[in-house]
Amino acid sequence: MKERTTYAGGPLPRYLLLGSMLFLLLGGMVMVYSASSVADFVNLQDSAYHLKRQATGAVLGGIMLVIAMFIDYRKVRWTGLLVWGLSFLGLLLVAVLGVGKWGATRWIDLGPFTVQPSEFAKLGCVMLTALLLQQHRAGRIDQTTFWRRLALMVSLVVLLVMLQPDFGTTIAIVLSVYLALLIGGISLRLLGAGFLAGVAGIVLAIMVAPYRIRRVTSFLDPFADPLGSGYQSIQALYAFGSGGLDGVGLGMSRQKFFYLPAAHTDFIFAIIGEELGLLGALSVVAAFAVMAYAGVRIALGARDGYGRVLAGGLTAMLVTQAIINMGAVTGLLPVTGIPMPLVSSGGSSMTFTMLCIGIILSVSTYGARAEQRERPGSKETAGARPAERRRNRRSHLSCVDGGRSTARRRA
């Protein structure tokens, strides 16, 4: 008798995740063309220039998604170290041979296309965080070693990203690791201390860079400098104001006529609000909400801690980036330069996002199967003892910070 396929969280979250991804991907390509066609025709004599690049990124991302979703994530945990290492080397190359745009050096020019290693550094950090949490839970490393390796991994990447400079991506990396630790069950006391340290670091980073101070002041009052630091925010608000409930019509944006900078990248949400109105903007918000629900269901349905942290951390990272982007465009948050996943123009961002979704789908496919329980001082075994299997079926996430949680388990 043929064994019935089971999925972590059930089959519905898989379809919801894929459906929301396709909606954002296809809708994003339409909006990239609408937002960039005028500028591309004037500057490059090719109105579909960015659309072609976006389609190329989608094809490459689709290939990586398919490959990732059919690989058992439990058997290739070492790939987290590989992704982190390659992205770290890429960041080193950016510091030496990188190309710049808008006052920042973030890309490596490979001829036909450019690569932004910091996008994949986010994925590497989340995967390594999940791996370190799993090793700590299995008793392979103690608590001190866990925190030392985690701090070294994150600080090396953050240092190189800050040198670009790219403060928005730095925040995204730190926040992604923080959310992965939260999902992994680190105690709230330690997370609270980390939160306070992170806030202090952000304040210090803002104070030492005058352009970041201007961004904060323009966020508080963009009309204080309408032709300078507040220009982008004001033009974005004009776009939303013009859109109304149902928009001015697809392709009919006025702000894309060289009024709104980065209309097809960081501020594409403003063009969506102008052309498709409040209803179009809310449909994007709803799509990311569906993606968040599906990712969380898959994470909670995984029977192993590594899969839960991996799927939950990647889902939190993608959705958080979307929230930060939408908040910056609508004036609810300072401008950070973070693109909207699947929607903003950018081949590296597209490929990275679809790879993350492929990994989440791998957790959905293989995470519902019997966990290979790891015990301190032993290799993985095919099965676990009955008491361990009962614990593994619980939907909550086990604490991995040692100390009191370990004492409770022993009791």
Q: What is the mean pLDDT of the chain?
A: 83
pLDDT of amino acid 408: 43
Quote the Cα angle for 221-219-197, to 5°.
135
Q: Buried b / exposed e across 80-99, counting CB within 10 Å, b at 16+?
A: beebbeebbebbeebeeebe
Q: Buried b / exposed e across 379-405, counting CB within 10 Å, b at 16+?
A: eeeeebeeeeeeebeeeebebbbbeeb
Residue positions counted in the chain: 411
Q: Please tell me what DSSP assigns to residue 207.
A: H
Q: At 237, phi and psi to the nearest 5?
A: -65, -40
Q: What residue has token string 């909400």?
A: 289
Instruction: State the DSSP string of 371-386.
Output: P----TTS---SS--H
398 vs 121: CA distance, rounded Å: 26
Omega of the bond prior to 165 within 30 degrees of 0, cis?
yes
Tokens of residue 132, six digits: 């370190």
Tokens of residue 110, six digits: 């490979």
CA-nearest of 84, 264, 112, 103 to 176 is: 84
> What average pLDDT does range 114-138 have in this prediction?
88
Sheet holding 104-109, edge to edge: 99-101, 104-109, 114-115
What's the alpha-carbon Rg for the chain, to the nearest Å? 22
pLDDT of amino acid 375: 43
pLDDT of amino acid 407: 44
Q: Please tell me what DSSP assigns to residue 275.
A: H
Q: Residue 55's Cα: distance from chain center in Å?
A: 20
Out of 99-103, 193-197, 215-219, 293-297, the most confident range is 293-297
Quote the Cα angle for 269-320-30, to 5°.
30
- Domain positions in the chain: 11-368
389: three-class secondary structure by DSSP: helix
CA-nearest of 315, 313, 304 to 398 is: 304
Residue 98 has pLDDT above 90, yes or no: no
CA-nearest of 365, 288, 324, 341 to 61 is: 341
Does residue 295 contact residue 311 with C-beta atoms inside 8 Å?
A: yes
* pLDDT tier at 95, thresholds 50, 70, 90: confident
Does residue 113 contact residue 50 with C-beta atoms inside 8 Å?
A: no
CA-nearest of 264, 257, 275, 249 to 346 is: 264
Residue 24 has pLDDT above 90, yes or no: yes
Of the listed ranges 17-21, 163-167, 275-279, the one predicted with least confidence: 163-167
The predicted-structure confidence for 300-314, as pLDDT tens digits, reads as follows 988 888 999 999 999
* pTM given for the model: 0.84
Residue 397 has pLDDT above 70, yes or no: no
